[in-house]
Amino acid sequence: MAYLDDEASTADGDVTELYDFTGPTASYRYTSGATAVTYGGNSYTPAPGLRRSALEHPTSGGEGSLTVTLRASETVVVAFAFAAPPRSLRLRIYRQQANSGETTTIWDGEVVAIEARGALATVRTLSKLGAWLRRQIPGLAASWRCPHRLYDARCKLTATDWDLATTVSSVGGGGTTIVVASVGGQPDDWFAKGAEILRVSDGERRIVYRQVGTTLTINDPFPTLTAGDSVTLFAGCDHTHRFYTDFVGTILVSGDCQSKFSNAVNFGGEPSMPGSNPFTLNIRYVRKD
């Protein structure tokens, strides 16, 4: 009861909060106090300006959310605010009373958004229940493009069969232009069209928009990337599969699904879908004299 007594006291309460952000490969720990704190064998570093909103627990009228504000220069913001694809990040907040020395967990949730504006960033989190309630039931829409994500369970291609290990030669363009040592002799844009570049040291990924020779253009710069870093490139796909016949009836095929990956059997789109919907067109009468 010492913790509760300190919480209720106007004289003995001396509170420090500990913020533990846990990612797939690393943890980022901060404290609202002025000095570093050790708890559970882990060190929590002071983060000037760190603050949070009031606790909102899930009810029938809300999903349960909490917003944390901290400097945009903090490592967790740099590592996750610009990541693509978004990676999982969990936030646990501990409330520690200095007088009794007791600590309790006051929040455990999933980070759903990080927005950096100027010198500050806001981190929005949902409770575990709120995060589950927020998830949408997946659905598939008919399209002439394949709806599968490249290398997922429906696509059935294995990413390691289409990757290439290389190293960074140089970084420019504010971090969005990367020159690699080799692309294995592949043509332009082989490693583009939704393809990814992975930094081997920490698993950080970025989307490659364009590849010309050994020069890659990515969506967002890596927090740190220097010449000599080991990276892995993955082949990209335009998610199309078109087939048609020439004037003598020979079947011709275009689109990466078949021509690049020979994977038309797992194509999830409708390549022969017409460009217009006959059910939404106006009925027109054509007079024939």
% of the chain exceeding 70 in pLDDT:
76
Give the integer Cα–Cα distance in Å for 14 and 96: 8
pTM for the model stands at 0.58
219's enclosing H/E stretch is none
For residue 130, count other CB atoms closer than 10 A to its CB. Answer: 21
- 41 Cβ contact list (under 8 Å, min separation 6): none
Separation of alpha carbons 111 and 86, rounded Å: 10
State pLDDT tens for residues 16-59: 899 999 987 789 999 988 899 999 999 999 999 999 998 876 55
Whether 253 shows a pLDDT value over 60: the answer reads no
Interval 83-122: pLDDT, tens: 655 568 899 999 988 777 788 899 998 998 899 888 999 9
List, for residues 151-163, the tens digit of each pLDDT value: 988 899 999 999 9
* 170 has pLDDT over 80: yes
Contact 52, 58 (CB under 8 A): no
The CATH architecture annotation of domain 163-234 reads Beta Barrel (2.40)
- The pLDDT-based confidence of 60 (bands split at 50, 70, 90) is very low
Specify the domain boundaries for CATH 2.40.10 within the chain.
2-134, 163-234
Cis peptide before 274 (omega within 30 of 0): no
Is residue 137 scored above 80 in pLDDT?
A: no
- The better pLDDT of the pair 78, 45 is held by 45
For the 2-134 domain, the top CATH level (class) is mainly beta
233: CB partners within 8 A, 6+ apart: 163, 164, 166, 180, 183, 191, 195, 196, 197, 198, 208, 216
Mean pLDDT, the chain, rounded, equals 82
Cα–Cα dist 238/263, whole Å: 13
